[in-house]
Amino acid sequence: MKLENYVQGRWMAGEGEGQTLYNAITGDAINTASSKGVDFGAMLDYARKTGGPKLRKLTFHERGRMLKALAMHLQSKKEEFYKISWATGATRADSWVDIEGGIGNLFSYASLRRQFPDESFCVEGDIAKLSKNGTFIGHHICVPKEGVAVHINAFNFPVWGMLEKVAVNWLAGVPAVVKPATVTSFLTEAVAREIIASGILPEGSLQLICGSANGILDHVQSQDVITFTGSASTGKMLKAHPRLLEEAVHFNMEADSLNCCILGPDVKHGSVEFDIFIKEVQREMTTKAGQKCTAVRRIMVPENMVEDVQIALGKRLAGTVIGDPNTEGVRMGALAGKTQLKEVIEKVELLSKTQKIIFGDLKNFEVLGADKNKGAFMSPILFLNENPFKYTDVHNVEAFGPVSTIMPYKDIDEAIELAKMGKGSLVSSIITADDRIAKQYVLGAASMHGRILILNADCAKESTGHGSPMPMLVHGGPGRAGGGEEMGGKRGVFHYLQRTAIQGSPTTLTNITNQYQYGGKYIEKDVHPFKRYFEELEVGETLITAKHTISEADIVNFANVSGDNFYAHMDATSLEGTIFTGRVAHGYFVLSKAAGLFVDAKKGPVLLNYGLDECRFTKPVYPGTTIGVRFTCKEKIDQEKKNEEDIAKGIVKWLVDVYDETGETVAVATILTMVKKKNQD
């Protein structure tokens, strides 16, 4: 069967015979893939002109809800994907990481919408005061890039590799063209078909290339974003493409790296941490048959523990049953194909010149439920390098399969040096029960790693493991690992947004951003804001409250109610050497009194106080000071109804500016209220 590409709103098979794809377990030919005849320039242009405008019109909240709906749809189809995934050589557990891990990224980024405004854009950071009197300010606004995200993915995670990237660019409002590695693209195509068939995405949001994408970079433009996951050599070649340099195209690279796992010098044989270490390394060597960019390639052990680790890890590897994932008891499947198997064997033979194999055999191993000569099967291979500072191939050559090397170190500083000899890694882990050792390692090794996992008995049970990048944390690494970043929660979304500095008056910037900028003009109404429904409120709408003069009785009464008898409030004889010239009112009393001034007591659209942000007490308030409040609608955030019975509502952020008789601010805070909508449909 010939796989199809999804191009300009339709499925189409490439011309010619194309590349033959094989079942990694049986060796049988199952598909062919070709992209011959696909116009890559027209494909990218279609994404920019069709998908981009539709996505950019949606708000972050609408895009997030779109991701959630898509995740739920794919979750309902996951068993179909598991059946197809078997042909990639993956076990059920391997496929869980790929399939449900990928869908989990959609869910994670759907939830992230709540950290963005209900707008098609967002503002970032605080205002910059650019003038003495505050009439001229600056801010940063972030809008979706008007290009396309081109994702060039590796063969090892045909589902996760696609979904972990598109979740981010779709939330940002940017369409995508996905180019999976052809060898496992049959699984990517199956998922992409369900995405398109769901009708959840605006047309043009996703296009797919199953065959070769050679030449696509000739058509990229300055607003596009290119991401690459795979070998460092291929990534460097793509990164140097003249078109990327000419158009200044953003290129994000995540390359395979020589990740390491360190057994802390405090860990003894038979301890809980020792067992954690052995299990973690064995799992990382055999999950996906070692075909993970985050897999453990270098195992660093105190020199007096090498023999214990060698024996324990060898026993655990010996219990790893290799074979057809559909056969009961099998724990490790095949590599993705014969080509990958050939490459790994070549690298093992190269590493064998400078270090010795202490477990495993390239030829003599058993396979359960399949013919090892037809499938792409391989035994785990464990090396020992007794002098890793002299024999350095281990720090330069990666066998992208179930292959790793034990090496000794004398102290934690030497372990740090060895870890950094990998010249940049996606991830490193250290298993230790001593937090002082953990701190020393993290501070020493962090500059050369994208992520560091510290494992001990406290967190091992719930840990996601050495090899599992998490959606809300960055995935990437310096040096050999490519120097890029993926995911990372909000950080990842900003890769697809253009950050632009805007300057003007506070009122103008308020009207542009739909967020009140301090110093902007007030909108005063005849009706108290707490009597107005969510839809009726305007950003900038301000209540100027009545005033109250602070008395010593206020301070004493608040101390009695709150139990806060801090000396600055209660003991005028203890103020020498402080900034205070007399007894000072509690900051929280000032804020509480402010609430008493701005709150309307009668029942109305305000349902509840939702929280407090950014509270600052900027000037001491002494007895005799008269305070008032400028209470301003700062921002409105829509909320979707959870069900038909739920109340239609939104969150309103209010700027509480408490000032004294001189007009100077003494306290400032942002409070949040939940406000009912007038329209409950």
**Chain segment 268-310, per-residue pLDDT in tens:** 998 999 999 999 999 999 998 888 889 999 999 999 999 999 9
Give CA separation, 122 vs 24, 41, 140, in Å. Answer: 46, 31, 9
Q: Would 39-256+491-498 and 522-676 be classified into the same CATH topology?
A: no
Q: Give the model's confidence band at 614: pLDDT under 50 very low, under 70 low, under 90 confident, else very high.
A: confident
**SS3 state at 407:** strand
Residue 98 token pair: 């790929």
Q: Which pLDDT score, from 0 to 100, does residue 476 have?
A: 87
Residue 130 token pair: 């650019």
Looking at residues 132-155, what average pLDDT do you find? Answer: 93
Q: Give the model's confidence band at 646: pLDDT under 50 very low, under 70 low, under 90 confident, else very high.
A: confident
Residue 286 token pair: 């055999």
Strands 29-33 and 122-129: unpaired
Residue pLDDT, tens place only, 260-272: 999 999 999 989 9
Q: Which pLDDT score, from 0 to 100, does residue 139 have?
A: 94
Q: Is a pLDDT exceeding 90 seen at residue 404?
A: yes
Q: Which of 671, 669, 634 is CA-nearest to residue 520? A: 634
Place of tokens 């920019």: 48
Q: Which pLDDT score, from 0 to 100, does residue 628 have?
A: 95
Q: Is a pLDDT exceeding 90 seen at residue 661?
A: yes
Enzyme catalytic residues: 254, 293
Residue pLDDT, tens place only, 510-529: 999 999 998 899 999 989 99
Q: Is a pLDDT exceeding 90 seen at residue 136?
A: yes
Q: Which pLDDT score, from 0 to 100, does residue 438 have?
A: 94
Q: Quick one: fold of 259-475? A: Aldehyde Dehydrogenase; Chain A, domain 2 (3.40.309)
Class of domain 522-676: alpha beta
Q: Which of 507, 541, 662 is CA-nearest to residue 135? A: 507
Contact between residue 55 and residue 248 where contact means Cβ atoms under 8 Å apart: no
Residue 106 token pair: 């959609």
pLDDT above 90 covers a percentage of the chain that reads 72
Looking at residues 76-94, what average pLDDT do you find? Answer: 91
Which residues, at least 6 apart from 464, have a Cβ–Cβ distance to it below 8 Å? Answer: 470
Residue pLDDT, tens place only, 40-78: 999 999 999 999 999 999 999 999 999 999 999 999 999
Q: Give the model's confidence band at 463: pLDDT under 50 very low, under 70 low, under 90 confident, else very high.
A: confident
Cα–Cα distance, 62 to 13 (Å, whole number): 33
Q: Is a pLDDT exceeding 80 seen at residue 673?
A: yes
Q: Which of 26, 479, 526, 429 is CA-nearest to residue 253? A: 479
Q: Give the model's confidence band at 126: pLDDT under 50 very low, under 70 low, under 90 confident, else very high.
A: confident
Find residue 260's DSSP bridge partners. Answer: 298, 428
Q: Which of 357, 358, 423 is CA-nearest to residue 396? A: 423
Q: Supply the mean pLDDT for the chain.
A: 92
Place of tokens 């003495």: 132
Q: Which pLDDT score, from 0 to 100, does residue 633 have?
A: 95
Q: Which of 563, 564, 521 is CA-nearest to residue 539? A: 521
Extended beta strands in 512-586, E state: 542-544, 548-549
Q: Which helix (H) or strand (E) holds 652?
A: strand 649-659
Give CA separation, 148 vs 5, 214, 223, 226, 415, in Å. Answer: 17, 17, 7, 8, 43
Correct CATH for 39-256+491-498 of 3.50.30.50, 3.50.30.20, 1.10.260.40, 3.40.605.10 = 3.40.605.10
- pTM recorded for the entire structure: 0.89
Q: Is a pLDDT exceeding 80 seen at residue 681?
A: no
pLDDT above 70 covers a percentage of the chain that reads 100
Q: Which pLDDT score, from 0 to 100, does residue 254 have?
A: 85
Q: Which of 326, 622, 291, 273 is CA-nearest to residue 463? A: 273
CA dihedral sign, ordered 320, 266, 416, 352: negative
Residue pLDDT, tens place only, 559-586: 999 999 998 898 888 888 888 988 999 9
Q: Which helix (H) or strand (E) holds 272?
A: helix 272-286
Residue pLDDT, tens place only, 11-24: 998 888 888 888 88
Q: Give the model's confidence band at 488: pLDDT under 50 very low, under 70 low, under 90 confident, else very high.
A: confident
Residue pLDDT, tens place only, 222-243: 999 999 888 878 888 888 899 9
Largest CA distance in the chain: 93
Cα–Cα distance, 425 to 404 (Å, whole number): 15
Q: Give the model's confidence band at 505: pLDDT under 50 very low, under 70 low, under 90 confident, else very high.
A: very high
Strands 206-208 and 176-179: parallel
Domain regions of the chain by residue span: 39-256+491-498, 259-475, 522-676
Q: Is a pLDDT exceeding 80 seen at residue 504?
A: yes
Burial of 624: CB neighbours in 10 Å, binned 0-12, 13-18, 19+: exposed
Find residue 123's DSSP bridge partners. Answer: 141
Contact between residue 133 and residue 18 where contact means Cβ atoms under 8 Å apart: no
Residue 400 token pair: 């992208």
Q: Which pLDDT score, from 0 to 100, does residue 71 have?
A: 96
Residue 558 has φ and ψ, to the nearest 5°, of -65, -35
**SS3 state at 129:** strand
Give CA separation, 79 vs 162, 212, 320, in Å. Answer: 18, 28, 25
Contact between residue 370 and residue 377 where contact means Cβ atoms under 8 Å apart: yes
